[in-house]
Structure 1
Amino acid sequence: MKCLTESDVGITSYTGNHKGFSGVIKQRFSDFHVNEIDLDGNIIKLTDILPPKSEPSIEVCLENDILSPEVVENLDHLLEKGEPEVEIEVTQKSKEERLKIHEFIRKKYKCQFVSNTKDKNGKKLLIVNKPNKSNKQDNRQAWPAERGGEYLHFVMFKENKDTMEAVNIIAHKLRMRPNFITYAGTKDRRGKTSQMISVKKVEPSRIASISKELKGITLGNYSFKPMGLKLGDLSGNHFSIALRNVSGSEEEINSAMKSLGTKGFINYYGLQRFGNSSDVPTHMIGKNVLLRDWKKTVELILQPRENESRPDLKAARKVWSEKRNAKEAYKQLTRGRNTVEGKLFQGLQNDTPYNFLNAFESLPRNMRLFYQHSYQSLIWNKVASRRIETFGLKPIVGDLILKEHVKGISHEIELAGDSIDCVSNSFVEESALASEHVTNDSYLLDDAKNELGQSLNPELEKVGKRPHTVEILTEESVKSARIEDIVLPLPGYDVVFPHNVMKDWYEELLKEDGLSSITSNQQAKSYALSGSYRRLLLHPKDLSWRAVHYPSPEDILILSDLEKMHGEKLIEDNPDGKNKALIVEFSLPSSTYATMLLREIMKQDTSSGFQTSLNPIDTSSPSNPNINLTTDLKYETEKCIKVDSHAEKRKPEDCEFEQLNGSKKCKQEEVSEAIL
C-alpha cells in the first residue's frame, strides 16, 4: 500500500531557514506525554489517587440536631403503622438544610417515604407520607448538596491506550454505558497522557476501587462540579516529547529551537487529517461528496485496499468489488459492523437498484462532514504553502486578520452550522473503531468524533457571521499588522477571501476539481459548507528544550505523572552515552498538530513511514511494549515495499507496521495530533 506523504497534502514550506536535523518521533510510547490544559489554563496532572474523605453519615444529621429524636420516633411510627403523616417545621431552615433532611429520610428509611415541602398557615412544613397513587414514591438517589455538584470530575492517566478505549474499559467496570462518561478531548494511543473525565453521581470511592483493577489506566484527583465535561472544554494541551537518535549539534539544535520560538510554525493540518492511503485519502472522498457524485464516493470508501489488516473486511471488499452484492458483502463482516463500511453495506441493501446517496446518508452526519472538511483542509494547506513561498513572513495588502472582538478566542474560528473539529459523545457507541485497524475508513468514525460536532469554545457562538469576524488589510493597516495575526479561510459560502492574488489561488484549486460551487450556498443544505478561518502561523507557549545523552535505547527520558508520584528519578545526562535525544516541551491550542511543530524544527518528514526508516531495529533487544519496531515488523515493512507498484522508488518509510494483540497493520502513525 502506498502511504501519504506530506507533499501529497500540500505540506511543503517552513518558516525558518535553519539547517534542521534528524530525529525519531515516538520510538517508544513513553517518549510522548500529553497533559490537557483546561479552560482556566491549568495543566491537568495526576498527583493524588486517594478519594476524598467520606461525607458525614446520616447519624451526623441527628448529632447536629437537624432532626430531633421525637421526629425520628414519629417517622418510625409512620413506617410501622402507615399513619399519621409527619409534619416537620422547617421555616427557619435554609434550602441546604431542608435538602439534608430529605436525604436523611430517604437513606434511613430506604425510600419508603415521600417527602415534600409545603407552605401552611404561614409556616414552611416538610410533609412525610407513605407513597400512594397520587403521591408516588421517589426512588432517585439523593446527592449531597454540600458537594457543590452532581458531577464527579477526575484525572485519567493512561498509557498506550486511546481515550475511547480507556473510557470503554472504565464504563465496563462501572457497569454503565460509555456515553455516560464524558471528556473534553481525545488523546493518542501511543503515549502517556493525563486528561479530565466526568461522570454523574458516582462516588469517588467507587472510581478509586476500579482504578486498582485497571491496567495502563490510573484515576485520581477527584472533585465535584455542577456540570459535566463536553468535547471542547479545554484550551489546549501541554506536550513533553523525546526525539531520539538526534543527529544535530548543540548549535544546530539551539538554532532550530530559537527559530521556532521567534518565527513559529505553519499551522498545517497534519497527515492524520487525511488518512493513511495515497490511493484513497479522505480528501479525495470529500471532493466527490462536494461534487455530489454519490456512486464514486461510496465506491472509493468500499474499494479493496492493499494489505487489509482484517480478513473479514478484506473479504467484504472483495465481494463488493467482484459481485456488487451488498448483502453478501455485509455478511462477510464478522465484527465491527458499526464501521463506515458496515453502515454503507447496510444502506445499500435497502434499495434496488442501489441508491448510493441513501447509502452514504446512512452514515452519521458528522462522518459525512469529516470527509468534506478533509478536502477543505487540503485546499488550506496548499494555499498556506504558496502564501509562505511567495510572500514570506510579512503581511501584505489584502490579507485577512481577525477583528479585535474575536482575537484570542481560538486559532481557528468556526461557523455555527459547520460543526467541524469536534463531535458530541453520542456519535457512535462502539468502542474500538479507531484502534482496531487503519487500512480502511472504519477508524475515521472515531476521528470524526474527535474533530466534528460541538463548537470548540462557547465564546465562538457569539462571533456571528464570518464576514464580520475579519478585516482586510489596507495600505495603511498593513504597516502595523503582524504575520501572527493573518488568517486564511477554509473555503465555503460564508467566508471572506483575501483581497489579493490568493483569492485567485483558491479559485484555481477549486476549479481544477470542478468545485467552484463550494463558495456558494446552492448545494443541498446537508452538504453546503459555510467555511471557517485558521491562523496561518502559531507560536508555541511554555517552550523549553534540553539535550540528553543516554546509554541504552530503553532508557526512560521523560517521567510521567505516575512515575513522579512514585518518586522515580530520571537518568542524568551521560556525556559518554552513545545515544542523543532532544527533550522538547511546549503548549499548543486545540485543533493544532504538534507533528507540524516537530517538522519545523527538524525539517524532516513526519510521516510514520519515514520515521520507521530512522528507527534502528535491534533484534537482540528484549521484547518491550515500548519499543516500536521488532524483527517481525521489519519483515512486514519489507513486505509492504514488495507489494507497492512503485517499489523501486520507495523506501521502508512509505509504511509503518504496528503490532497490536498479535495483528500487524500498515498504520499512519497518530503522532501528536491535538484535535481535542
Structure 2
Amino acid sequence: MTYKQNNVIIFKDNSEKEIEKFAGIGSYSTSNINGIGGVYKHTYKDFTVREITKEGEILRIKDISTKPHFSRELKDVFTEFDLVKINKEPFNAFNLIASALNVPVSHVTYSGLKDRCSISVQKVTVKGNQVDKLNNLKLKDIFIKNVSPSRKYIKLGSNKGNQFTVIIRNIDKDIDVKKQVLKIFEILSNDGFLNYYGLQRFGTFRPNSHIVAKHILLNEYEKVFNELVLNTYSSESIKSQFLRNKLKHDGDMDWAYDNFPTGLNYERMMIHHLIDHENDFKGSVQKIPGYLVKLLFSSFQSYFFNKMLTLRIKNGISPFEPVDGDVIVILDDDKGNLTSIKYIFGGKYDKFLKEAIQLNRAYIVIPLVGYNTRMDEYPLMNRFFEEILIEEKIESPIFQSELFRQYEFKGAHRAITIKLSDATILEVRNDDIFQDKQQVKIEFSLPRGSYATMVLRELMK
C-alpha cells in the first residue's frame, strides 16, 4: 500500500514491489509460481553487467589488447575503449572522463546506461585522438581498457544486448532454489516475461522522474521545483528526507545550497538559481541539463507504457496471445529489430501474424507515445491510454508539447514481452553474508532496452 501524508509519499515497508507499482509495474508473467524471495544488489559485487556488441561479442571485465595507433591517413575521427566502472553512476563516470580529457561531455558517446550499483563493462567512444590520454587515465573506480582509434562513434542503442551475472542472497533454507529458478527460467526463455521499464528509468529510491516530466510539459515550473527538490519519499535516505523537509519548512535557500551534498547536483543547481533570482522557478527549471530532460521525458513515456501493459493484464488479456485490436510489428531480417511495418490484429492476416509471433519474427507492441503517435492506430491500447489520462488528470495534447518536439520525442513502440537467453544457474550455496540463509548465482542475457530487474522480480516476487 502506498499513500501520501504531509507531502511525503510513503511506501509500505519500503518494499520494492510497492515502489514498482508507483512506476506502473503491477503484474507478473509467472504469477502462478512462487518466487524464491531474497535480496539482490546487497553489494555492487553481486551484480555484473557485460555489454554484448552488435557483432555478438560479450565484453570482458579483464580483457586487455594492443591496438594500432591513431591514424589521420585512415580517417580515424574517434577513439573507442572499453569502460569498466565499479559502483559508479554512469553520468558521473562520463563527466569525469570528459573532464580528464578536457573535452565536452557531449563528445563522449555510448550505447546505453549501465546500473550504478554494479560492476559493468561497455563500449564508449570519444571524439578525436585520445589514445595516449586514455591509456594513461587514472580515475577512482573507473578503468579504461582496449583503447583503439575508430572511424565511427557509438550510437545510443547500437549494442545487441547485455549479459548479467547476479547473486540473489538471503533466501530461506527450506526453499528448493534450483527447482524454482529452473521452472521460472524455462517459462521466461520459452514464452517470455513482461517487458516493463524498470525502476532505474524512474529513480530507484525517488521514483518520480515521470512526475517531474509531467510538470515540465505542463509548464508548471514551481511544481517541478517542488517535486525535484522538496517532496520526499520514504524509500530515500533519512539524510535526504531531512534536508528536503528542512528546506520545505524554513525556505532557507542559502543553507540548503551549503548543505545539500554534491550528489544532489541538479537540486543544488536549481537552488543556486533561486538564490540569485528569487521566485524565478522557470529559470531554475531551465538549469536542468538537456540530457536529463531527455531522460525525464523518456520516463514519462515509459510510465504510460508500463500502465498500459498492467491494465492489459488486469483486464484478463494474455500478454502472449494477440487479441482483436492488438498491434503486431514485424522484425527485420538483418538484426531482428522492430520495424515500422505494423498490422492490427483481427483481420485477414491473423493466421500469418500468429505464426510470425511463434517464430519470433513479430511482437505484440504498445506505443511509446510521442507527438507523431496516432492512438487510433492502436485500438486496444487506446482504451487503456484514455483511462490513464483520466487517472492522471491530464489530456492527450500534453504529448504534442513543443518540448516533446524540441527533444524529438516522435513516438515509437515496444514489445510487451521479451524472451530470456542463455539463462543458467552457476551456483547454489550457503549465504556468506546472511546467517542460516542460502544464495544463488545466476547468469542470463537480454536484448538491449530490457531490464534485468524485471527478470529478478519474476524469480523473487
TM-score (norm 1): 0.55
Residue matched to 1:151: 78
Q: Could you say if the C-alpha distance between residues 349 and 172 of structure 1 is closer, same or farther in structure 2, counting changes exceeding 3 Å?
A: closer
**Which one of the candidate residues 43, 55, 63 is aligned to 2:58?**
43
- Once the two structures are TM-superposed, the CA of residue 499 in structure 1 deviates from its matched residue by 4.8
**Which one of the candidate residues 129, 132, 135 is aligned to 1:201?**
129
Deviation string 1:116-158 (CA, Å, 9 cap, x unpaired) is: xxxxxxxxxxxxxxxxxxxxxxxxxxx6457773533232333
- Find the aligned partners of 1:198 and 1:177 in 2 and give their Cα distance: 13
**Relative to total residues, which structure has the larger strand share, 1 or 2?**
2
- Does residue 286 of structure 1 match 2:213? yes
Residue matched to 2:400: 521
Deviation string 1:148-199 (CA, Å, 9 cap, x unpaired) is: 7353323233333344444555566666666555433332232222222334
Higher Cα Rg: structure 1 or 2?
A: 1
- Once the two structures are TM-superposed, the CA of residue 387 in structure 1 deviates from its matched residue by 1.4
How many pairs are equivalent?
Answer: 431
Residue matched to 2:363: 485
Three-state SS of the structure 1 residue aligned to 2:400 is coil
Contact 2:247 2:256 in 1 (8 A): no
Deviation string 1:12-53 (CA, Å, 9 cap, x unpaired) is: 212233333223212332221111122222212245436458
**Which one of the candidate residues 238, 247, 266 is aligned to 2:163?**
238
Contact 1:548 1:580 in 2 (8 A): no
Residue matched to 1:534: 414
Deviation string 1:383-425 (CA, Å, 9 cap, x unpaired) is: 10221342113101111122466995646xxxxxxxxxxxxxx
Cα-Cα RMSD: 3.9
Contact 1:289 1:372 in 2 (8 A): no
- List runs of 5+ in structure 2 lacking aligned partners: 1-7
**Which one of the candidate residues 411, 434, 441 is aligned to 1:583?**
441
- List runs of 5+ in structure 1 lacking aligned partners: 56-142, 412-462, 556-576, 605-676
Deviation string 1:540-580 (CA, Å, 9 cap, x unpaired) is: 22x2312524356169xxxxxxxxxxxxxxxxxxxxx9764
- Find the aligned partners of 2:181 and 2:243 in 1 and give their Cα distance: 49
Residue matched to 2:266: 340
- Once the two structures are TM-superposed, the CA of residue 256 in structure 1 deviates from its matched residue by 1.1
- Residue type of the alignment partner of 1:538: I
- Once the two structures are TM-superposed, the CA of residue 261 in structure 1 deviates from its matched residue by 0.9
Three-state SS of the structure 2 residue aligned to 1:158 is strand
- Find the aligned partners of 1:19 and 1:371 in 2 and give their Cα distance: 34
Q: Could you say if the C-alpha distance between residues 225 and 252 of structure 1 is closer, same or farther in structure 2, counting changes exceeding 3 Å?
A: same
- Residue type of the alignment partner of 2:381: M
Three-state SS of the structure 1 residue aligned to 2:27 is coil
Contact 2:233 2:241 in 1 (8 A): no
Contact 2:217 2:398 in 1 (8 A): no
- Once the two structures are TM-superposed, the CA of residue 265 in structure 1 deviates from its matched residue by 0.7
**Which one of the candidate residues 380, 383, 390 is aligned to 1:511?**
390
- Find the aligned partners of 2:195 and 2:216 in 1 and give their Cα distance: 25
Contact 1:163 1:189 in 2 (8 A): yes
Alignment of 1:471-620 (within 5 A): 471-482=343-354, 485-497=363-375, 499-518=378-397, 521=400, 526=406, 530-541=410-421, 543-546=422-425, 548-551=427-430, 553=432, 580-602=438-460, 604=461
TM-score (norm 2): 0.78
Residue matched to 1:274: 202
- Once the two structures are TM-superposed, the CA of residue 372 in structure 1 deviates from its matched residue by 3.5
- Once the two structures are TM-superposed, the CA of residue 601 in structure 1 deviates from its matched residue by 2.8
Contact 2:217 2:401 in 1 (8 A): no
- Once the two structures are TM-superposed, the CA of residue 374 in structure 1 deviates from its matched residue by 2.4
Contact 1:544 1:585 in 2 (8 A): yes
Between 257-266 and 488-497, the greater mean CA deviation after superposition: 488-497
- Once the two structures are TM-superposed, the CA of residue 283 in structure 1 deviates from its matched residue by 2.4
- Once the two structures are TM-superposed, the CA of residue 506 in structure 1 deviates from its matched residue by 0.9
Q: Could you say if the C-alpha distance between residues 475 and 192 of structure 1 is closer, same or farther in structure 2, counting changes exceeding 3 Å?
A: same
- Residue type of the alignment partner of 1:184: S
Contact 1:160 1:191 in 2 (8 A): yes
Contact 2:257 2:268 in 1 (8 A): no
- Once the two structures are TM-superposed, the CA of residue 230 in structure 1 deviates from its matched residue by 4.3
Contact 2:260 2:268 in 1 (8 A): no
Residue matched to 2:4: none
Q: Could you say if the C-alpha distance between residues 532 and 407 of structure 1 is closer, same or farther in structure 2, counting changes exceeding 3 Å?
A: farther
- Does residue 303 of structure 1 match 2:227? no
- Find the aligned partners of 1:394 and 1:149 in 2 and give their Cα distance: 48
